[in-house]
Structure 1
Amino acid sequence: MTDDKRENPTVAVVIPCYNEALTVAKVVQDFRRVLPDADIYVFDNASTDDTARCALAAGAMVIPVAAKGKGNVVRSMFRDVDADVVLMVDGDDTYPADAALLMLEDVIAGRADMVVGTRLESHDDASFRRFHGFGNKLVRWSIGWLIGSPIRDVLSGYRAFSRRFVESMPVLSRGFEIETEMTVFALTSGFLITERTVAYGVRPEGSHSKLNTFRDGARVMRTIFFLFKDMRPLLFFSCLAALSIIVGLLCGLVVLSEFTATGLVTRPSTAVLAVAFTLTGIISLATGLILDTVNRRSSEILRLITDQLVSTKHSDSRGSGGSAATRARQAAALEGQ
């Protein structure tokens, strides 16, 4: 980000919502108070209540997303919103708007591409449903063991992103596993991540979480597994190769010890298994090496394309007066005069 952009960055607050009519207006008003110059978008994910109407009445720009699932909403956010910094917050009024400037600080200063609002150090006893705290720890441990450099709150919905991150990330998830995907993508792609401790509140009476503990938990763990395979193929296939070769050697030792003692091989099936497991290990290792090379080249190409795209958008926004939403408000103000 250039010095000019750091001094006057365009900021967008994006709020994914599904049936949050009870809280969305307050969330919009709170963030408008703290960030008066920011564009505030509510992405209405096929709500069946008055979420869209309440958001419009509060002054937000409402963008409908027909495909259900938070991942689909984030994909629309990253595609449709044009800003130097994007601040994502849930529409359930559990995250404090007063922490917004703190969340934006590192991204604006160029010290981070993603800032995560960590809830685990400051929350009410009723903030997390049963097993949610354990699930967060399990996800954090899994990512730390498989990928390294774990963050404290992998599943936080309060995050700030740089333009580079938004333009780089190909959103694949459809549901609540999107936070895990963003975290793993940032860690494996070399993006800078920082965390800020934020207070996590309790949903108001009548508001209910859309997260299914076991179904969405299983999706999160599956996402970690496949992202590990896709983004760290050499480590993934090396583990498979090591396991296969060890089993093959153990089977081979049984056959070899028998042959040494008797001069006979009375267990041909064990010999076949030894050869099969060893060959599987060698093939797995070769697969990992090939995919790692392909993955590195793909990442380099993606980085180059992203850098060029971000640079072009910076130039366009300087020449045209900012984001599309900002220009629309300026045009409306001129018409009113």
Structure 2
Amino acid sequence: MDLTFVFPCLNEEKSLGECIAKVRQSLEKAAGLRYEIVVADNGSTDRSREIATSLGARVVPVTRRGYGAALSGGIEAAEGEYVMFADADNTYLYEHALPLYEATSSARADMGIASRIKGEIKPGAMPTLHRYLGTPVLTSLINLFFQGRLSDCNSGFRCLRKTSFQAWAVRSSGMEFASELLIKALKHRAQYVEIPSGLNPNPPDRVPHLRTWRDGMRHLLFIFSERPQMFEWLGLIAVVFATLLQILAVITGPVNFLGLNIFDLHSQALLLLAGLVGTQFYMYSCMCYLRSSDKPSGITRWLINMDEGTLFFLLSGVMLAIALVVLSVFVIWAGSSFAGLNLTHTLVAIVHFLSVPLLLCLGLLGLHTLKRYEH
């Protein structure tokens, strides 16, 4: 086979037949093109399977639920050198199936994308939130983080070389499959092409499978998880910078700098917040490194691979230090007959120096628990 066209399907009886007919009409224009149409059925309870079979499509049952799972199952079952896919909701311009295949195969590219943004989006076809916020933001992030030149990261109309797809090891089962596919391709320095296409409105009686905020967040989380270096260095810089300034605040006390009163209580509180946020960013990066193929820095690698005995003594030491601070404050308070204390500046700094390592240790507990669980 030269090409396999895959439709992910979950109860699409109202539109599936027309989609198959449009794809076939497009591909039949190429003389000698050997192709097949596969419907990756994700548990339909309507007549989708019967319709697909009656129109000459091959039905591949996929038991694992989700958009990405259905596509992965269909692609793995494909017999073509190239695999093309699009939703079975009659919104994509299926007449562009042949132009997309020709553009991809003639360039010997690993992936071709039918860009909705470069083509004509019919009125009502794409919600305003998706068109002017969701898709542009996600596309820009992928381009920025992974050196892409994409125009439409959320297009569900694509053509892939099957061997390239298998090398990328795409694993997502949900809508974030679309982002993972692009990111893995860019990380592998894959060659890709885009053609202008477009989008038609959803049929009036069809309920979209896409859930805007949930699926948008899934895309965002996957993009971030593939860029752990950003959170690693942001976290480290924030923690080190805030801690050094906190030490300086303890040494100098409040000072007047260029007419500004700095290193007073408010400055210390903000430095504490920066230290806490930086620690959380850093620990998030450590979690991401567990599943990423990217390499962490030396200190991060040491923390991830830290011996559990070392972690025990580190956590015990931090907890002991906290207990001693609490006891010391109580003794001082008792010594003043439980009157008011003037330790605020000192305590804010001490909380900073203890809470940052405490959050680090608690994060490492979770990290090492996940490591043990995954193994």
Q: Could you say whether these structures have the same fold, taking a TM-score greater than 0.5 normalized by the shorter chain as the test?
A: yes
Report the secondary structure of 2:160's partner residue: strand
Contact preservation (8 Å) 1:13, 1:41:
yes
Report the secondary structure of 1:181's partner residue: helix
How far apart are the structure 2 equivalents of 1:79 and 1:236? 34
Q: 1:280 to 1:204 in 2, by over 3 A?
A: closer
Which position in structure 1 is the counterpart of 2:302? none
How far apart are the structure 2 equivalents of 1:179 and 1:292? 18
1:19 aligned onto 2:14 = no
Give the one of 93, 111, 121 matched to 1:123.
Answer: 121
Which position in structure 2 is the counterpart of 1:98? 95
Which position in structure 2 is the counterpart of 1:56? 53
Q: What residue ranges of structure 2 are gaps of 5+ in the alignment?
A: 29-33, 257-267, 296-375
Which position in structure 2 is the counterpart of 1:307? none
Contact preservation (8 Å) 1:28, 1:59:
no
Report the secondary structure of 2:59's partner residue: strand
Residue 94 of structure 1: how far off its partner (Å): 1.4
How far apart are the structure 2 equivalents of 1:125 and 1:159? 23
Which position in structure 1 is the counterpart of 2:74? 77
Report the secondary structure of 1:131's partner residue: helix
1:248 aligned onto 2:243 = yes
Which position in structure 2 is the counterpart of 1:325? none
Q: Of the two structures, which has the highest relative contact order with CA contacts closer than 8 Å and spacing of 6 or more?
A: 1
Q: 1:249 to 1:69 in 2, by over 3 A?
A: same
How far apart are the structure 2 equivalents of 1:96 and 1:104? 14
Q: CA offsets per residue over residues 292-326 of structure 1, 9 Å max, x none?
A: 99647xxxxxxxxxxxxxxxxxxxxxxxxxxxxxx
How far apart are the structure 2 equivalents of 1:172 and 1:243? 33
1:112 aligned onto 2:109 = yes
Within a 5 Å distance, the mapping from 1:216-235 to structure 2 comes to 216-228=215-227, 233-235=228-230
Q: 1:116 to 1:251 in 2, by over 3 A?
A: same
Aligned residue identity for 2:4: A
Aligned residue identity for 2:153: V
How far apart are the structure 2 equivalents of 1:259 and 1:215? 46
How far apart are the structure 1 equivalents of 2:291 and 2:17? 47
Q: 1:101 to 1:89 in 2, by over 3 A?
A: same
How far apart are the structure 2 equivalents of 1:294 and 1:146? 15
Q: 1:64 to 1:280 in 2, by over 3 A?
A: closer
Which position in structure 2 is the counterpart of 1:323? none
Q: 1:219 to 1:292 in 2, by over 3 A?
A: closer
How far apart are the structure 1 equivalents of 2:146 and 2:240? 23
Q: 1:130 to 1:191 in 2, by over 3 A?
A: same
Residue 260 of structure 1: how far off its partner (Å): 11
Q: 1:150 to 1:236 in 2, by over 3 A?
A: farther
Within a 5 Å distance, the mapping from 1:1-337 to structure 2 comes to 10-36=2-28, 37-120=34-117, 121-134=119-132, 135-228=134-227, 233-258=228-253, 295=294
Larger Rg: 2
Q: CA offsets per residue over residues 40-64 of structure 1, 9 Å max, x none?
A: 1011111121111111111100111
Which position in structure 2 is the counterpart of 1:334? none
Contact preservation (8 Å) 2:62, 2:70:
yes
Q: What residue ranges of structure 1 are gaps of 5+ in the alignment?
A: 1-8, 262-268, 297-337
How far apart are the structure 1 equivalents of 2:50 and 2:293? 48
How far apart are the structure 1 equivalents of 2:9 and 2:45? 11
Q: Would you say how many aligned residue pairs link Structure 1 and Structure 2?
A: 273
TM-score, normalised via structure 2 length: 0.64
The Cα RMSD (Å) is 3.4
Q: 1:131 to 1:260 in 2, by over 3 A?
A: closer
Q: CA offsets per residue over residues 115-171 of structure 1, 9 Å max, x none?
A: 111112411111013522241122123323433325111111000111332211222
How far apart are the structure 1 equivalents of 2:290 and 2:210? 35
Contact preservation (8 Å) 1:140, 1:152:
yes
Residue 91 of structure 1: how far off its partner (Å): 0.7
Report the secondary structure of 2:121's partner residue: coil
Aligned residue identity for 1:67: R
Contact preservation (8 Å) 2:91, 2:201:
yes
How far apart are the structure 2 equivalents of 1:241 and 1:141? 25
Contact preservation (8 Å) 1:11, 1:83:
yes
